[in-house]
Amino acid sequence: MSRRRGREKLHFLNTVPIRLIHDRWVSKYTEPWAAGLASLKHELEQPMEKIFEIYIRTTPERLWEAITDPVIRAKYHFGAGVESDWTPGSRYTLIHPGSDGPLAEGENLVVDPPRRLVQTMHTLWSEEAEREGHVTGDVGDRTRRRLVSADRHP
């Protein structure tokens, strides 16, 4: 429908037939898409688990020492060393000399020197980082690390 107003010609669109076409044809095709998004939402809102695998071409003994020796580890971990007794079920803490307390802590799930180390990790955010908004969530709760020496890479 259109209408003249001076030198202008105004056009009007009746949206009812367009809506009927949408309801009849388009909505049935969007149902699988909407179901997929709902499934994705459900999947992403589940607790997160990350697995890191790192392959290093060295002997298992040298790798084990680099992981468990606080002085050596600090060289490759931004100055942070690790403290633990390295037994299954024991705790470990990641400590940086310039921080007020531990940066992270976790549990040694599997300790099989020098071949296998499986750990959980929980990141400890400082109150200052939380106040400044650098922390968006507790993403470290369910992180596992699996460190494998060169003799086991694919």
Question: In this predicted model, which residue has the larger pLDDT, 46 or 71?
Answer: 71
Domain shared by 84 and 146, yes or no: yes
Report the percent of the chain where pLDDT is more than 90.
26
Q: Residue 63 sits in which domain range?
A: 50-152
- Is residue 35 domain-shared with residue 60, that is, in the same domain? no
φ and ψ at 4, to 5 degrees?
-90, 140
* Per-residue pLDDT band at 131 (split at 50, 70, 90): low
* 143 shares a domain with 71: yes
Question: Does one domain contain both 75 and 132?
Answer: yes
CA distances from 52 to 3, 17, 34, 39, 106 (A): 67, 55, 32, 25, 15
If one counts the domains in the chain, the total is 2
The residue from 29, 44, 59 where one domain ends is 44
Same domain, 21 and 61: no
The neighbour count for residue 129, using CB atoms within 10 Å, is 11
pLDDT interval class at 150 (50, 70, 90)? very low
Order of strands across the sheet that contains 91-95: 50-56, 143-149, 116-123, 104-112, 91-95, 81-84
* Other C-beta atoms lying within 10 Å of the C-beta of residue 86: 15
Based on the fold, state whether residues 14 and 57 are members of the same structural domain.
Answer: no
78 vs 25: CA distance, rounded Å: 58
Residues 87 and 138 in one domain: yes
| Residue pair 70/86 in contact by the 8 Å Cβ criterion | no
55 and 73 both lie in a single domain: yes
Q: What is the mean pLDDT of the chain?
A: 78
Q: How far apart are the C-alpha atoms of 66 and 62, rounded to whole Å?
A: 6
Residues 9 and 83 in one domain: no
Strands 81-84 and 91-95: antiparallel
